[in-house]
């Protein structure tokens, strides 16, 4: 037996979610049902905050990519985890 769930959400969020679901070959109802089933099965609600990259991190990545394109090693070889930790701590 099925029941109906009414959820109020702003139009831009609904439209964006429906568009993404469609790209994945799903409808929004399927996404909501799957989310609710997962919530009940796991008894967990996962929220993730992914911070934006800082200018410093963007520079490090750009420099590493440049070095890789030029055939340069971007880090030395390590013979142990401790050696790697010491190197990383020195940065």
pLDDT tens digits, 16-73: 999 999 999 999 999 999 999 999 999 999 877 777 788 888 888 898 888 888 887 7
CA dihedral angle for residue 27, residue 30, residue 31, residue 32, rounded to 10 degrees: 120
- Residue 87: predicted pLDDT: 83
**What burial class does residue 47 get, using C-beta atoms within 10 Å of its C-beta: 0-12 exposed, 13-18 middle, 19+ buried?**
exposed
Tokens standing for 66?
């440049």
CA 22 → CA 18, 25, 53, 70, 83, distances in Å?
Answer: 6, 5, 29, 41, 49
pTM of the model: 0.50
| SS3 category, 35 | helix
Tokens standing for 23?
């790209």
Side-chain-facing half-sphere of 5: CA atoms under 13 Å: 9
């Amino acid at each position: 037996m099925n029941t109906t769930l009414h959820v109020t959400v702003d139009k831009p969020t609904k439209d964006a979610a429906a568009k993404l679901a469609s790209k994945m070959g799903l409808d929004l109802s399927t996404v909501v049902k799957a989310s609710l089933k997962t919530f009940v099965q796991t008894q967990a609600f996962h929220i993730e905050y992914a911070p934006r990259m800082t200018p410093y991190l963007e520079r490090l990545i750009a420099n590493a990519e440049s070095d890789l394109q030029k055939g340069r090693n971007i880090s030395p070889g390590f013979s142990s985890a401790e050696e790697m930790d010491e190197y990383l701590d020195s940065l």
